[in-house]
C-alpha cells in the first residue's frame, strides 16, 4: 500500500518548469547562435536576444531558488553524504544496471524530505554546484563584456569564456537527455512527470508512517 503525498510545493514546481523551459530555450538558441546555418533556423540576431533574456530569467530563477532553499532550511536535501555515494550510490546504480531489467522493486523509497535518491543527489550536486554556476558565470561575463571588461580580461577573455560556455552547453544537453529519461523510471513511465505537474506522488514510507509503522 502507498499514500499520495505532496512532494513538490507550488513554488518548487514553478521553479522547476521555468528552469526546464529556460534550459531548453537556452540550448536551442545557443545552438542557433553557434551553428547559424544549422538545424534551428532562428536567425542569429533573434537567437542572441532570446539567449540573453532567457539567460537572465534562468539566473534570477536560480537565485530565488537558492534563497528559498537556504531560508527554508532544506539545502541539506541537495548535499550528498559520503554514504550516499558508497554504498548507497552503488546499490542505486546496481538497480539501474541490473535490477530494473529483472522487474525488481526500487531499492529506495522517496519521502518529501528525502525526495532525492542517492545517485540523484550526486548528479544534482554536480549540476547545481558546478555546471550551472559555470554556465551562469561564463554567460554573465560574456554578456557583460562591455560593462566589466576588466573582469572578462581577468578571466582570460572570450577565448577562454567562449569554449568553457560551449563545453558546458554540451554537458547540459547530455544531462537534459538523461534527466528526461530518468523521469520514466518511476512507478509508471509518467508518474514522475505527473508528480512534477501535480506535486503529488505515491510513497510507501509515508503510508507506513501514517499507519504508525
Partner 1 sequence: MKNLILISVTWLLGGAGGLYAQDTVEADELRVTLKSIRPKLIPGAKSLHPDVVFLTRDGRKVLDDNGALSLEKSCGACHDTQYIEKHNYHAQVGLSEASIEAAGPQEHAQVGDFVMLRGFDPLIYRRLSRSTDEKLDLGKAAWIQLLGPRHVGGGPAFRAQNGKMLEDLKVGAEVSPETHVLEPKTKTPRPWDYQKSGGVELNCLLCHMQNPDNRERIDALEQGRFRWASTATLVRSGIVARTEAGFTWNRKMFDARGAVTNQVLKLSDPPSDNCRLCHAKACRCSDPVVFENSLQNWSAETTGTIFSPEPMRKSGMNLSGKPSLNSAWDVHAERLLGCIDCHHAPNNPAYNQKDAGEDMQDHLRFDARRLGIEAYLRRPDHNLVKGFVTQTVVARAYDGTMRGCRDCHRPEAVHEFLPFKKTHFEKLSCQTCHIPKIFAPARSSTDWTLLDADGQPLVAHRGVSGEINDPLSIIDGYQPVLLWHVDDQDVCRLGPHNLVTSWFWSQGDQESPIRYIDLYNALFEQDGGYHPQVIAGFDANSDGRIGLDELRLDTDEKINLMKKRLETQGVEQPTVRALMHPYTIAHGVLSADMAVKSCDECHRPAARIGKMYDLARYAPAGVMPRLLQGSDCEMAGTVLTDQDGALKYKPDLGIEKLYVHGAVRLGWTDLLGLIVLLATGLGVLLHGGLRGFTTRMRKSRGGGS
Closest separation between CB of residue 177 and partner 1, Å?
A: 5
Which positions from 58 to 97 touch partner 1 by CB under 8 A, shown as an x/- string?
Answer: --------------------------------------x-
Helix (H, G, I), strand (E, B) or coil at 12: helix
Asked if residue 44 binds partner 1 (CB under 8 A), the reply is yes
Q: Is residue 193 within 8 Å of 183, Cβ to Cβ?
A: yes
**Span 161-190, contacts to partner 1 by CB under 8 A:** 162-163, 166-167, 169-171, 173-175, 177-178, 181, 184-185
Asked if residue 104 binds partner 1 (CB under 8 A), the reply is no
Q: Which residues of 131-163 are buried (b: 16+ CB within 10 A; e: fewer)?
A: bbebbbbbbbbbbeeeeeeeebeebeeeeebee
Q: How far is CA 132 from CA 55, 146, 149, 189, in A?
A: 11, 23, 22, 27
Closest separation between CB of residue 209 and partner 1, Å?
A: 26
CA distance 184 to 91: 19
Q: Which is nearer to partner 1, 101 or 211 (CB)?
A: 101
Nearest to 148 by CA among 163, 158, 159: 158
Largest CA distance in the chain: 62
| Strand partners for 5 | 201
Asked if residue 132 binds partner 1 (CB under 8 A), the reply is no
Asked if residue 102 binds partner 1 (CB under 8 A), the reply is yes
Tell which one of 10, 39, 73, 103 touches partner 1 (CB under 8 A): 103
The residues binding partner 1 (CB under 8 A) are 33-37, 43-45, 48, 96, 100-103, 145-146, 149, 157-159, 162-163, 166-167, 169-171, 173-175, 177-178, 181, 184-185
Amino acid at each position: 500500500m502507498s499514500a499520495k503525498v505532496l512532494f513538490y510545493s507550488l513554488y518548487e514546481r514553478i521553479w522547476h518548469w521555468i528552469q526546464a523551459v529556460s534550459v531548453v530555450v537556452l540550448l536551442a538558441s545557443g545552438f542557433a547562435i553557434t551553428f547559424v546555418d544549422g538545424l534551428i533556423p532562428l536567425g542569429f540576431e533573434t537567437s542572441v536576444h532570446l539567449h540573453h533574456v532567457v539567460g537572465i530569467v534562468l539566473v534570477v530563477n536560480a537565485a530565488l531558488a537558492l534563497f528559498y532553499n537556504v531560508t527554508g532550511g532544506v539545502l541539506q536535501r541537495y548535499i550528498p553524504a559520503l554514504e550516499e555515494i558508497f554504498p548507497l550510490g552503488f546499490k542505486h546504480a546496481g538497480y539501474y544496471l541490473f535490477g530494473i531489467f529483472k522487474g525488481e522493486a526500487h531499492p529506495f523509497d522517496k519521502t518529501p524530505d528525502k525526495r532525492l535518491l542517492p545517485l540523484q543527489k550526486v548528479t544534482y550536486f554536480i549540476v547545481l554546484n558546478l555546471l550551472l554556476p559555470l554556465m551562469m558565470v561564463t554567460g554573465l561575463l560574456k554578456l557583460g563584456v562591455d560593462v566589466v571588461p576588466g573582469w572578462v580580461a581577468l578571466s582570460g577573455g572570450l577565448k577562454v569564456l567562449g569554449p568553457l560556455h560551449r563545453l558546458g552547453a554540451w554537458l547540459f544537453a547530455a544531462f537534459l537527455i538523461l534527466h528526461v529519461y530518468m523521469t520514466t523510471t518511476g512507478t509508471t513511465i509518467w508518474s514522475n512527470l505527473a508528480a512534477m505537474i501535480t506535486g503529488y506522488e505515491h510513497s510507501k514510507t509515508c503510508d507506513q508512517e501514517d499507519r504508525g509503522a
